[in-house]
Amino acid sequence: MKVYLVGGAVRDVIMGVTPKDYDYVVVGSSVEEMLSLGFTKVGADFPVFLHQVTKDEYALARTERKTGTGYNGFECDWEGVTLEEDLSRRDLTINSIAIDVDYDAAGRLCKPVLRGELIDPYNGIADIENKVLRATGEAFREDPLRCLRVARFLSQFGDGWKMTMKLTFLTAHLSTLGKLDTLTPERVWKEVEKVLQLDNPSKFFSVVGAWRLFPIVSEMRSTPQRSEHHPEGDVWTHTALVMDYAARTYNDPEITFSAFTHDFGKPVCYLERGTAHAHEKEGLPVIEEFCKRWKVPNNYRDLALLVCEHHNRIHGVLGRSDQKMTKPKNIMNMFQSTAALTKPERFEKILKCCIADARGRGAGEEQIKEFESKPYPQADYLRECLQAVIELNTKSISKELLAKCVKGASIGEHIRVARIDAIRGVYNKWKELK
C-alpha cells in the first residue's frame, strides 16, 4: 500500500501557497483494507474514504470511463490501477502531480514529506513555471465543469497565466456543443462561490461570459455608459472594477456577488430607452431570475436585491447636482425597507457595496487609483443616522405614552416620529458642515 499527496495541494506546495485541503491517492490497496484501517467510506460510486482523525480524503487510484451525462455518469475501475493512470484522468497537468508521503501500518498519516523526486508524468511542474494551463488528456472533455475550473484558476492565479491553444479550443468547443448547459445549478454555484472569495473574481466571469453560460455578462459588455460618470466605458468594465475592489477590500463573497449584480438592470434600460434611468427597478427581476436559475442562497439574493434597489438613493443622500440632501423621513423609509434596525450588519454590507460602486471606475491605472482613493462620506452619514435611531430609548417613549393611555398603532407612529427626529439631528449637523 502506497499513499501519495495529489492534486491542488501539490500544486500549491510548488507555487509556495499553503494548501487549504489535502487529498490523497492510495495505490495497491482495496476497499476492505481501507475499512480495516479505520477509514470511513463516503463515496457511493467512487472508492473515497475519510481519515478517522484528520478527516482528509483518501481515494483508491482509479480510472474512469464516461458512460452517461452528469457528475455520476462514469464507470470506475480501481483494481490494479497505477498512480500514473490515476493522474491521467485529472483535468490539468498542474493538478496531475503527486508527492510520495510516509504512512505507517496503523493507518496514521505522518506529516507529508517529499520522498525523492516529485512524480510528474505530464510535465505539470514546467507548466506551473511557465504559467500555462494545459489539459492533461482527452478526459478533459468528459466533465464540462472543468471549463469553470479553468476560468476559476485564471482568476485565482493572477496575471500572466494563459491557456494553451488546445485548451482554449476544448473549452470553446464544449460551450458550443451546449455541454455547459448540462451542468446542474448546484455544481455551477459551488464554483461561483469559490470565485467570489478570490481577489480578482471578474476574470472568471469575463471568461465564462464568453462561453454564454451567463448571458448577462455579454449584455453588460455591450451596454455603454455616460463617460462623464463612467470613463471606463461599458457596464461590464465598471462591474468588473467594482467586483475586484469589493473582493480585495472586504473579502466577503456576499458583497462581491452584490457588486456583480448591482447594475443588472442597465442592459434592459439601455435596450428599451437608451439610458440607464430606472435601472435599479429594472434590475430586480433580472437578479431574481439569475438567482432562481442557479439556486443562489437566499442570503446572497436578498443582499443583491437591496443593493440594486437602493444604491443610487444611497449615493445621493448628501445631495448631488441640483438635488438636495435626502429628507430625514426618507432616510427612515430606507432603514425600514432594508430592515436596517434589526439587521444592521447587513445594512453595513449594503454601504460597502455602494462604496465599491463609487470607487470602481476609471480608464487606465492612474485614474482607477484616483477613484479608489476618493472619500465616500455618504456611508459615514448613514452610519451615524442609523446609530442615532438604534440608540433611541423607545421603551421609555412607550412607557410614557402608555401612562397617557395612548395605545396600539399610535405608539408605533410616535416612535417613528421620534426616530425621524433623531435622524434630523444628524441631518442638521451634516447640513451645517457642507
- CATH code, domain carrying 118: 3.30.460.10
pLDDT in tens, the chain (434 residues): 888 999 999 999 899 988 888 889 999 888 899 899 888 998 777 789 988 877 888 999 988 665 555 555 556 666 778 999 999 999 999 999 999 887 654 445 545 555 557 899 999 999 999 999 999 998 899 899 999 999 999 999 988 999 999 999 999 999 988 999 999 999 999 999 999 999 999 999 999 998 989 999 999 999 999 888 899 999 999 999 999 999 999 999 999 999 999 999 999 999 998 888 899 999 999 999 999 999 999 999 999 999 999 999 999 999 987 789 999 999 999 999 999 999 999 999 999 999 999 999 999 999 999 999 999 999 999 999 999 999 998 888 887 777 777 777 888 788 899 999 999 999 999 998 87
Contacts of 302 (CB under 8 A, 6+ apart): 346
Residue 144 lies in a domain: no
Q: How far apart are CA 37 and CA 1, in angstroms?
A: 12
Q: Domain boundary residue among 100, 129, 158? A: 129
Q: Which residues pair with 135 in a beta bridge?
A: 92
Place of cell 490539468: 92
Instruction: Decide if 200 contacts 158 (C-beta within 8 A).
Output: yes
Could you tell me if 359 and 250 lie in one domain?
yes
DSSP notation for 187-232: HHHHHHHHHTTSS-THHHHHHHHHTTSSHHHHHHHT----TTT-TT
Residue 162 contacts residue 131 (beta carbons within 8 Å): yes
Evaluate whether residue 343 is within a structural domain.
Answer: yes
Same domain, 267 and 372: yes
User: Domain boundary at 76, 105, 129, which?
Assistant: 129
Same domain, 271 and 410: yes
User: Is 33 exposed, middle or buried (CB count within 10 Å of its CB: 0-12, 13-18, 19+)?
Assistant: middle
Same domain, 123 and 218: no
The residue whose grid cell reads 393611555 is: 405
Is residue 250 in some structural domain?
yes
Give the DSSP letter string of 222-281: T----TTT-TT-SHHHHHHHHHHHHHHHH--HHHHHHHHHTTTTHHHHHHHHSS-TTHHH
Structurally, the chain folds into a number of domains equal to 2
Q: Which of 83, 108, 129 is the last residue of a domain?
A: 129
Sign of the C-alpha dihedral, residues 216, 219, 225, 231?
positive
* 97 domain residue, yes or no: yes
378 with 245, same domain? yes
- Mapped onto helix, strand or coil, the DSSP state of residue 27 is strand
Please report whether residue 356 resides in a domain: yes
Q: Are residues 275 and 375 in the same domain?
A: yes
User: Within a 13 Å sphere around the CA of 38, how many CA atoms are in the beta-carbon half?
Assistant: 10
Check whether residue 225 and residue 332 sit in a common domain: yes
Q: What is the sign of the dihedral through the CA atoms of 393, 397, 403 and 407?
A: negative
Looking at the DSSP assignment, which residues form a beta bridge with residue 162? Answer: 132
- Indicate whether 223 and 77 sit together in one domain: no
- Tell me what pLDDT residue 105 has: 43
pLDDT computed for residue 11 by the predictor: 94
Establish if 371 belongs to a structural domain.
Answer: yes
What is the DSSP track for 354-374?
HHHHHHS--SSHHHHHHHHTS
Residue-level pLDDT at 325: 95
Terminal Cα-to-Cα distance of the chain (whole angstroms) = 74
Predicted pLDDT at 76: 65
Q: Are residues 220 and 337 in the same domain?
A: yes
pTM beyond 0.85, yes or no: yes
Q: How many CB atoms lie within 10 A of CB 51?
A: 18
Q: Is 352 domain-assigned?
A: yes
The secondary structure of residue 325, as a DSSP letter, is P
| Residue 133, strand partner residues | 163
Rounded-to-integer distance, Cα 318 and Cα 381, Å: 8
- Same domain, residue pair 98 and 247: no
Q: Is residue 157 part of a domain?
A: no
> In one letter, which amino acid is 284?
L
Range of the domain at 88: 2-129
CB neighbours of residue 228 within 10 Å = 6
Asked if 291 and 389 sit in the same domain, the reply is yes
Q: In sequence order, what are the beta bridge partners of 49?
A: 41, 58
Beta bridge partners of 240: none
Nearest-angstrom CA–CA distance, 331 and 316: 11
Q: Which amino acid is at 36?
A: S
